[in-house]
Amino acid sequence: MTKTTHPRRTSPQRMIALIGALDTKGAEYGFVKQCIEARGHKTLLIDVGVLDAPAVKPDVTREEVAKAGGSDLSALVAKRDRGAAVAAMSRGAAALLPQLFAQKKFDGVIALGGTGGASVACSAMRALPLGVPKVMVSTVAGSDVSGYVGVKDIVMIPSIVDVSGINRISREVFARAAGAICGMVETPVCRRTSRQISPGQDKPMVAASMFGNTTPCVERAKAILEQAGYEVLVFHATGAGGKTMESLVEAGLIAGVLDITTTEWADELVGGVLSAGPTRLDAAAQHGVPAIVTPGCLDMVNFWAPPTVPEKFKGRKFYPHNPNVTLMRTTPDECRRLGEILAEKLNRSAGPVTVLIPLKGVSMIAAPGGPFHWPEADAALFNALKKNLRPDIPVIEMDCNINDPPFAQRCADELLGQIKKNEKNT
């Protein structure tokens, strides 16, 4: 019987950048380099070490990295301050890697390290565009890595043991990580389920913010926008979602913003667990991206299970969204301040922006008869927003709840009109 063999699938040769301290982690990077090259790809070694001489020869020297960040390597070496060195090399790597990628010097990047190595490498990875393959093998990967990843698509792989030599554990982890980055750079992006199409055929993108309590509104508006030829990216307004949406708008990838759910500002103001930070609502305003903004879910502040709610909020109005999420109703005073904040943010808009106000509730549970229905708080929010808003920014008040179909229709129609008008003026 003749044995049938199947030829191995071949992929175009790619260049993979390896960024790390080649003095203290030289053996580890040498091993990963061999694994990648065994797969038929090339490597670009970028040295960010500052202590001893590199154990393997780099393609991009530490002097080049330091200079890209405005630092002098000899001064860093003489100072022998690890914290200052990590900060300097982080700046340099974050400045240099995007330049190298723009010059088509690499197709993906991988790094190994502990807290310091991850700090330097991830700062560089965060500076790269979304979609560029990024793998970080680190001792911190099993913990909260939000400070390292930010809102970028960095794959974190736990190193299991410290990144200190090649042993029977680290060999397995490093080899699989090398395989992961190789697979990522080899994999073409399928932009449709059934077939591939060229990037030029992609639809323009709209970003939308959504919460469970605004889902009907966003889903209906999304369908209208998709019917009009747009691809709608929906972001869950949980802090990370708002930050990610802002980053995509800032990167120039978004044609319009359907900001139905601005609730993250309630958490930022009052002290909830789902804040997106003080820059929420800045990107569209600063970059002139057409935007529809509503005070969606500003009636609520988010906490985890009931025992996690701070004692200072005892006696407030609460609603159990689920066993792990507790919602707290915002007061008239808090709503008044939220209206002022939204107006302050939107007044900086360089492009078209329209505010839509649902007079019968800014969330599903704030509708008449709902547990968060509080007309005085809503009035404080709406009046402060209108009073402080720039006179030329349109305000549309509708006698319905935010989830009523006419409100969703109007939001979508207004955004479509803004985008078309913006296209004519550019």
CB atoms within 10 A of CB 86: 20
What pLDDT is recorded for position 77?
85
d(CA 173, CA 178): 9
Structure tokens at 208: 């939308």
Q: For residue 131, which of 76, 176, 189 has the smallest C-alpha distance? A: 189
Between the CA of residue 172 and those of 41, 109, 159, 165, 179, what are the distances in Å?
A: 19, 19, 10, 12, 11
Could you say which DSSP state residue 322 is in?
A: E
Q: Do the strands 108-113 and 231-236 form a parallel or antiparallel pair, or are they unpaired?
A: unpaired
- Quick check: 232 and 258 in contact, CB under 8 A? yes
CATH of 202-419, one of 3.40.50.300, 3.40.50.1110, 3.30.70.360, 3.40.50.12030: 3.40.50.12030
Sign of the Cα pseudo-torsion (317, 321, 327, 329, in order) = negative
d(CA 157, CA 140): 9
Strand partners, 354: 292
Q: For residue 261, which of 183, 303, 189, 207 has the smallest C-alpha distance? A: 207
3-class DSSP assignment, residue 337: helix
Mean pLDDT in consecutive groups of 10 residues from the start of the chain, 426 residues: 44 93 95 97 96 93 96 87 88 97 98 93 96 96 90 95 94 98 91 46 90 96 97 94 93 95 98 96 97 98 96 96 95 98 98 97 97 98 98 98 98 97 81
d(CA 52, CA 9): 41
Q: What is the pTM of this model?
A: 0.80
Say which residue the tokens 């500076």 belong to. Answer: 127
- Quick check: 269 and 341 in contact, CB under 8 A? yes
CB crowding 361-390: b at 16 or more within 10 Å, else e: bbbbbbbeebebbbeebbebbbebbeeebe
Mutual angle of helices 332-346 and 375-388, in 10-degree steps: 30
Q: Do the strands 231-236 and 318-322 form a parallel or antiparallel pair, or are they unpaired?
A: unpaired
Helix, strand counts (H, E) of the chain: 14, 14
| CATH 3.40.50.12020-classified regions of the chain | 15-186
Strand partners, 206: 232, 256
3-class DSSP assignment, residue 146: helix
CATH of 15-186, one of 3.20.20.370, 3.40.50.300, 3.60.21.10, 3.40.50.12020: 3.40.50.12020
d(CA 305, CA 308): 6
d(CA 46, CA 93): 9
- Residues across the chain: 426
Between the CA of residue 173 and those of 18, 91, 169, 219, what are the distances in Å?
A: 16, 28, 6, 42
d(CA 93, CA 131): 19
- Quick check: 45 and 56 in contact, CB under 8 A? yes
| CATH 3.40.50.12030-classified regions of the chain | 202-419
What pLDDT is recorded for position 84?
87
For every residue of 234-301, DSSP letters joined together read: EEE-SSHHHHHHHHHHHTT--SEEEE---THHHHHHHT-S----TTTTHHHHHHT--EEE--TTTTEE
